[in-house]
Amino acid sequence: MAKKIKKMSKTNLKAEVKSLRRKADKLRRKVGKAATSVPAAPAVSPLAPARMPTLPVVAGVEFASGMAGVRYKGRVDVMLARLCPGTQMAGVFTRSATRAAPVLDCEEKIALTDDGQGAAIIVNAGNANAFTGAAGQAAVDAITGAVGQVVGVPQSRVFSSSTGVIGEPLPHERITAVLDDLAAGLDPAGLADAARAIMTTDTFPKGASGLVEIEGETVTIAGIAKGSGMIAPDMATMLVYLFTDARIARDPLQKILSRLTGPTFNSITVDGDTSTSDTLLLAATGQSKAPEISDLRGRPAKDFAAALERVMLDLAHQVVRDGEGATKFVEVAVTGAENDADARKVAMAIANSPLVKTAIAGEDPNWGRVVMAVGKSGARADRDLLTIRFGDILVAEKGWRAENYTEDAAAAYMTRPELVIGVDLGLGRGKSTVWTCDLTHRYIDINADYRS
């Protein structure tokens, strides 16, 4: 027990101060060390872009965001988009067997061609309206019906998404209660705010845009996304909304979107878990002065698709950069497989391996785990033809560690925030590139006791 201060002599007091100062220093070092081993939650992912890009206005669409208090209090959690008559809609949805009510509802509505009614999108964060039985569809009906009335489009043209906790009934009346306010606030410049409204565990809002010239006229593309955990194909992200003023019929629009989803949103993985709510919607308002895109093999279609793919890949990468607990952005580039499907198997086996991901978190160039992941992938592989690179560093070839490989060089490389793991199987021309992040203590922190 500590000595009574009152009874201590001056000499003893001096000794006590000295000893206490030493103890305090020691404890401070301990606290510092502990703080290093479990870093505090960063407000924003260390891999986030420096700032959200300025998003251009897309003619024919307006946005509004608001606080419905679905689950979170005091934060924007609902967004509304109104699309002008003539807008064509395309979509890609999760193939989960337990997909949520709004996803099932969107799937039914997406194939319709717009013949002048316009459309609307309503999204809430905080509750996914997933695994909510018959009440789930009833909530979707209540919301889409009310949105249709407020913005003046038929219910069959109102698309809804919900993201957040699974299995809780969605308090849809909280959303319908704010629709009049949302409709009154619709603004062509409201897309960036909408990106904030759809966040759950995201640490930054995600937006991207692109312009493309078609026969001298500009076509604008802008989009937003949310997602940071439960991220894996298919679909690789939870919610993505893309808007363009291109003039294009529904079928070619859907064809382009479906084709571009593979190398973008379906080529990212954070934890290999797939959401029940994944939704990707692309709305083309037709308000650009550029001529209609009709022939998919023509230059205009190709230029449009290339610009759209850049926007989609940008958003997909932002989702990985916001991967729960991520400190490393990792590209896994597989070449030389017997075919593309095999290359993808290998890339995903590496990107989803907890042992590879924890090694990256520890900045450990543990390439043996890459060999392990190649081996377990199910793809054809020959140990003696395999080449592994970390960035430009040749790590392994001919069935063994490369002759000039040094652990020091590889360890220095692993300290970078952005890494490339290159694997060549030496068998054929199949290739696949996927993007992932590392697996850290923060992922456990976020998910060991989280209800979005």
What positions carry a catalytic annotation? 237
| Residue closer to a copy of itself, measured from CB, 184 or 448 | 448
Question: 338 or 340: whose CB is closer to a copy of itself?
Answer: 338
Min separation Cβ 447 and a copy of itself, Å = 4
For a copy of itself, the closer of residues 42 and 362 by Cβ is 362
DSSP 392-447: TEEEEETTEE-TT--HHHHHHHHTSSEEEEEEE-SSSSEEEEEEEE---HHHHHHH
- Sheet of 61-66: strand order equals 61-66, 78-83, 119-127, 158-165
Going by C-alpha positions, the residue among 232, 164, 163 that lies closest to residue 452 is: 164
- Tokens 């006791």 correspond to 449
What are the angstrom distances between the C-alpha of 333 and each of 79, 419, 433? Answer: 36, 11, 4
Q: Closest separation between CB of residue 161 and a copy of itself, Å? A: 16
User: 385-408 burial, b if ≥16 CB within 10 A, otherwise e?
Assistant: ebbbbbbebbbbbeeebbeebeee
Alpha carbons 385 and 396: distance in angstroms, whole number: 10
> Distance (Å, rounded) from C-alpha 370 to C-alpha 356?
6
Tell me the closest approach of the beta carbon of residue 375 to a copy of itself, in angstroms: 3
Q: Which residue number, 17 or 412, has a Cβ lying nearer to a copy of itself?
A: 17
Rounded to the nearest whole angstrom, what is the least distance from the CB of residue 437 to a copy of itself in the complex? 12
Q: What's the rounded Cα separation, in Å, for the pair 357 and 419?
A: 12
In angstroms, give the least distance from the CB of 105 to a copy of itself. Answer: 14
Residue with the two structure tokens 């201060």: 5
Query: Minimum distance from CB of 355 to a copy of itself (Å)?
Result: 5
* Cβ nearer to a copy of itself, comparing 7 with 297: 7
Give the shortest CB-7-to-a copy of itself separation in angstroms: 11
Nearer to a copy of itself by Cβ, of 38 and 211: the residue is 38
Label residues 123-157 b or e (16+ Cβ within 10 Å = b).
bbbbbbbbebeeebeebbeebbebbbebbebbbeb
Nearer to a copy of itself, 28 or 299 (CB): 28
d(CA 396, CA 319): 31
Measured from the CB atom, the residue of 10 and 73 that comes closer to a copy of itself is 10
**Tokens matching residue 317:** 């990468």
Query: Distance between the two ends of the chain, CA-based, in angstroms?
Result: 47
In the complex, minimum distance from the CB of residue 374 to a copy of itself, in angstroms, rounded to a whole number: 6
The contacts of residue 225 (CB under 8 Å, 6+ apart) are: 195, 206, 207, 237, 239, 240, 241, 315, 316, 318, 319
Per the DSSP assignment, residues forming a β-bridge with 435 are 268, 331
Q: How far is CA 400 from the centre of its chain?
A: 36
